[in-house]
């Protein structure tokens, strides 16, 4: 009976698409071997069902990983995913958390799976592995299972602290906008090398530089290694990404990656921006900064707003001799506002004189009459430690300022108009900055060892809805050392 049902079902297919002879041949064969026909059909349908089940299982596993990462993102300040490679040495964190022999055996078996490293607020690093890979090892390594992930700390105390943090934030772990930026970050962490950080992580990593980096208090990026070049692309913002409903593609790789232009060999750091508020906005918004600026230097709220909105170029230049190891040079255009600045600079001059600074005798050279330099009055060498000068003439006045160094005599202000709404471009020599002890914070070793680093920050969508404002696309790259 079952064979007849199968034949009847197939009949509707073969009648429409076969010749009379072919139809007769196929139906005769199926009637002669009904069990074979049924087996073939069951095999085909079984394969389709099996494929769908496998795909569904993979999606379910990934969803479980994303949910677990959502809970961990509340408990940790930074999470980074890595692509395993058994051909490379065992990571030191694996050895430290699992033991050298178990870590080596597990590293050989992992076969290129993703694994994660997470940092807590106290600086403790945790190893996170897929549960299918690390069930046995985790039991002996203070591991804690969360969904299909296992989180491994150093000892029982850190394991208990982890669970306390997770239990505290558990009600919040599901509260993120479906399809929004935070979910994009989690999906990226579950699929490929990526990193997600919170405001606490930024403060911990950047140290005293944190107030200048507030545009990227929270963010996530995808990473890729091209030879000795480490590249990144992602989204940053001042507010938490969790509740932001904006949908955005994290990655936009391009050939040059960053439109930074030729690097300056003489600069340790160069920053070009469309508005000073991108790096000094947080400082200028604080009352403790605003009050002395207004009371002591006459920089009113109106002038502060103009300063904040002004484009700029800034560079850090090494000094082989003198009181400082490096000097900071800044150039900003002040069209139609030179008189206000002259008044402010006059007040600054009075303050400097009252604090024991002096200026060289005025020069008769008309090229330097617009220049004001300063040195410590008790310094017999009269080493210049700063000053300012006007460039560009009356039509387009440009204020060139030096801190710890003479102001630059030539224009280096970069016009960002051709950079397609580039808001900030940074070029740096991190290894030299670190050697000179000018790079504070707990930056990762690849960065402190890099010979060059460039990145740019652009509005995520300058013409988009208000919900996307305050979000920025960050792209960059650094050159890793040979070793």
> Strand, coil or helix: what is 164?
helix
> Strand, coil or helix: what is 419?
coil
Question: Which residues share a beta bridge with 76?
Answer: none
Backbone angles phi, psi at 221, to 5 degrees: -145, 150
* Each residue's pLDDT tens digit, 90-119: 999 999 999 999 899 999 988 889 999 999
Secondary structure element (H or E) that encloses residue 55, with its range: helix 34-75
10 Å Cβ neighbour count for 405?
21
3-state SS string for 351-377: HHHHCCEECCCCCCCHHHCCEEEEEEC
The pairing of beta strand 114-119 with beta strand 149-152:
unpaired
Per-residue pLDDT of the chain (483 residues; tens, 9 = 90+): 433 323 233 233 333 334 443 444 334 443 444 444 444 333 333 333 343 433 344 545 667 899 899 989 988 999 999 999 999 999 999 999 999 998 999 999 888 899 999 999 888 899 999 988 876 655 556 788 888 899 998 888 877 888 787 777 654 445 555 668 898 999 999 999 999 999 889 888 888 888 888 888 899 999 999 888 999 999 998 888 887 777 777 876 654 445 555 556 678 999 999 999 888 888 888 889 999 999 888 888 888 998 898 999 999 999 888 788 999 999 999 887 788 888 999 999 999 999 999 998 776 666 555 789 999 999 999 999 999 999 986 667 899 999 999 999 999 999 886 555 568 999 999 999 999 998 888 888 888 999 899 999 988 875 555 455 688 999 999 998 876
Spatial CA neighbour of 464 closest among 222, 175, 218, 245 = 245
3-state SS string for 251-295: CCCCCCCCCCCCCCCCCCEEEEECCCHHHHHHHHCCHHHHHHHHH
* Each residue's pLDDT tens digit, 223-274: 999 888 999 999 998 888 887 777 777 876 654 445 555 556 678 999 999 9
Contact between residue 473 and residue 458 where contact means Cβ atoms under 8 Å apart:
yes
> Strand, coil or helix: what is 46?
helix
Q: What is the value of pTM for the model shown? A: 0.78
Strand positions, DSSP E, 11-133: 78-83, 114-119, 125-130
Look at the alpha carbons of 403, 409, 410, 411 in this order and tell me if their dihedral is positive or negative: positive
Identify the residue whose tokens are 């997470």: 118
Contact between residue 73 and residue 196 where contact means Cβ atoms under 8 Å apart:
yes
Quote the CA–CA distance of 434 and 440 in Å, as a whole number: 8
User: Which tokens go with 270?
Assistant: 């160069």
Secondary structure element (H or E) that encloses residue 163, with its range: helix 156-169
Quote the CA–CA distance of 386 and 406 in Å, as a whole number: 5
Quote the CA–CA distance of 77 and 187 in Å, as a whole number: 18
């Amino acid at each position: 009976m079952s064979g007849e049902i199968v034949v009847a079902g197939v009949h509707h297919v073969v009648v429409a698409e076969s010749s009379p002879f072919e139809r007769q041949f196929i139906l005769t064969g199926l009637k002669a071997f009904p069990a074979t026909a049924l087996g073939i059909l069951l095999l085909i349908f079984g394969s389709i069902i099996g494929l769908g089940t496998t795909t569904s299982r993979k999606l379910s596993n990934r969803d479980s990983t994303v949910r677990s990462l959502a809970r961990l993102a509340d408990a940790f300040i930074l999470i980074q995913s890595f692509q395993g490679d058994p051909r490379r040495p065992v990571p030191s964190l694996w050895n430290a958390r699992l033991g050298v022999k178990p870590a080596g055996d597990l590293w050989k078996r992992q076969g290129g799976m993703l694994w994660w490293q997470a940092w807590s607020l106290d600086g403790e690093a945790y190893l996170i592995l897929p549960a299918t890979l690390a069930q046995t090892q985790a039991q002996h390594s203070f591991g804690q299972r969360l969904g299909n992930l296992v989180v491994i700390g150093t000892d029982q105390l850190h394991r208990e602290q982890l669970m306390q943090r997770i239990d505290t934030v558990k009600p919040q772990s599901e509260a993120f906008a479906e399809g929004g930026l935070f979910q994009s970050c989690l999906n990226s962490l579950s699929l490929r090398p990526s990193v997600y950080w919170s405001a606490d992580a930024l403060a911990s990593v950047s140290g005293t530089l944190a107030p200048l980096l507030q545009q990227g208090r929270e963010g996530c990026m995808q990473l890729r290694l091209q030879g000795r070049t480490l590249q990144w692309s992602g989204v940053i913002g001042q507010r938490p990404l969790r509740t932001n409903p904006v949908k955005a593609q994290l990655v936009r790789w391009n050939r040059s990656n960053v439109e930074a232009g030729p690097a300056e060999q003489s600069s340790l750091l160069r920053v070009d921006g469309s508005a000073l508020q991108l790096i000094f906005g947080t400082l200028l918004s604080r009352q403790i900064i605003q009050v002395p600026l207004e009371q002591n230097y006459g920089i009113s709220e109106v002038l502060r707003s103009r300063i904040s909105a002004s484009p700029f170029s800034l560079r850090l230049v090494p000094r082989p001799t003198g009181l400082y190891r490096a000097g900071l040079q800044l150039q900003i255009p002040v069209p139609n506002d030179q008189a206000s600045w002259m008044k402010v600079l006059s007040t600054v001059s009075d303050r400097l004189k009252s604090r024991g600074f002096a200026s060289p005798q005025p020069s008769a050279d008309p090229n330097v009459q617009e220049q004001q330099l300063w040195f410590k009055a008790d310094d017999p060498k009269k080493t210049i430690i700063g000053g300012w000068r006007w460039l560009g003439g009356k039509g387009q006045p440009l204020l060139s300022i030096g801190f710890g160094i003479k102001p630059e005599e030539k224009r280096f202000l970069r016009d960002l108009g051709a950079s397609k709404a580039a808001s900030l471009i940074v070029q740096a020599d991190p290894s030299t900055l670190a050697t000179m002890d000018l790079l504070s914070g707990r930056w990762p070793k690849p960065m402190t060892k890099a010979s060059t680093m460039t990145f740019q920050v652009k509005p995520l969508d300058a013409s988009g809805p208000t919900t996307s404002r305050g979000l920025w696309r960050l792209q960059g790259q650094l050159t890793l050392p040979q070793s």
